[in-house]
Structure 1
Amino acid sequence: MCRKVPSPRRPVKGFTLVELMITVAIVAILSSIAYPSFMGSIRKGRRADASDAAAGVMQAQERWRANNALYTTTLASLNIASSTTGNGYYTMALSAASGTGYTLSFTPVAAKGQNHDTGCTALSVTVTSGNPAYAPAACWSR
């Protein structure tokens, strides 16, 4: 009778549980570092909503001022139907209107997440003699 010689054991293919846990831990650490930066970039991009709305209001105010003695403090006078910006990330309000200038303020809508935009939650444009001053200046990328 012929006996078979046992073959050497083949290496097992695949991952061990320890290797998978290390991979999951590395991915979790990288995600916790990257996510805040990602959200900061998203919020910075959403500030363009306020910038676009500011440009539209400033143009409308100049058209208004060409026909009236003073700038207006109501968006309705400028034929702007809504006090929210185009994408709805901010509400806007006019104040301190005079014959030489006005202030346009932007407040983030809490449900849209812009209220977590550190240092850039309250945006404003103060126009004096046709020259806009943006505050805080670092938050307005033009």
Structure 2
Amino acid sequence: MIVVAIIGIIAAVAYPSYQEYVRNAKRADAETALMELAHFMERYYTANGRYDQDINGKAVALPFNQAPKDGSGKAYDLLFVVPDTDEDEDEAPDPGSPTSSTYTLAAFPKGSMVNDVCGVLTLTHTGAKGQDKNASLAQCWKR
């Protein structure tokens, strides 16, 4: 009986730590994916002189739209958003498109990540990082 109680106590402590570890790993996948997409956008700009379309006028399309990229246990949808111009950090950004000289990428949490303390992660053409919840930027962006 004592062994069962000890196992119960250990499980009560270990399980929340494990859940936080999994959330951090999924968030890191999203951060990595946003950085890869930012690199893609910079290469696109170098080749086309603008972010929104190629030299033939065809609109830019992201090479992948979820994190993790392989689709296993999809935790985030990745897309362009309208840059956040208001001070309401608790409001998720709206889907949008890049302009000729700017873009903002976002990772929208899905599934088990919906209630994550960081919410939607964003990355702009200037490298500015953001999130739409009350957690600190340092807590949400560890890369």
Q: TM-score range by the shorter chain?
A: 0.5 to 0.7
**8 Å Cα contact 1:94-1:102 kept in structure 2:** yes
When Rg is computed on C-alpha atoms for both structures, the one with the higher figure is: 1
**8 Å Cα contact 2:37-2:62 kept in structure 1:** no
Which is bigger in relative contact order (C-alpha 8 A, separation at least 6)?
2
Match of 1:90 in 2: 76
Structure 2 gap ranges (5+): 54-58, 83-97, 132-136
Root-mean-square deviation over aligned CA pairs: 2.2
CA distance in 2, matches of 1:104, 1:114: 18
Secondary structure at the aligned position of 1:92 is classed as strand
Instruction: Report the count of equivalent residues.
Output: 113
The code of the aligned residue for 1:114 comes to M
Structure 2 residue 133 is the aligned partner of structure 1 residue 135: no
Structure 2 residue 72 is the aligned partner of structure 1 residue 72: no
Alignment of 1:1-142 (within 5 A): 21-72=1-52, 77-78=60-61, 80=63, 82-85=64-67, 86-87=69-70, 88-96=74-82, 97-110=98-111, 113-117=112-116, 119-127=117-125, 131-136=126-131, 137=137, 138-142=139-143
Which protein is richer in helix relative to its size? 1
CA distance in 2, matches of 1:78, 1:116: 28
Shift of 1:22: 2.1
Structure 1 gap ranges (5+): 1-20
Shift of 1:78: 4.2
CA distance in 1, matches of 2:36, 2:52: 14
The code of the aligned residue for 2:76 comes to Y
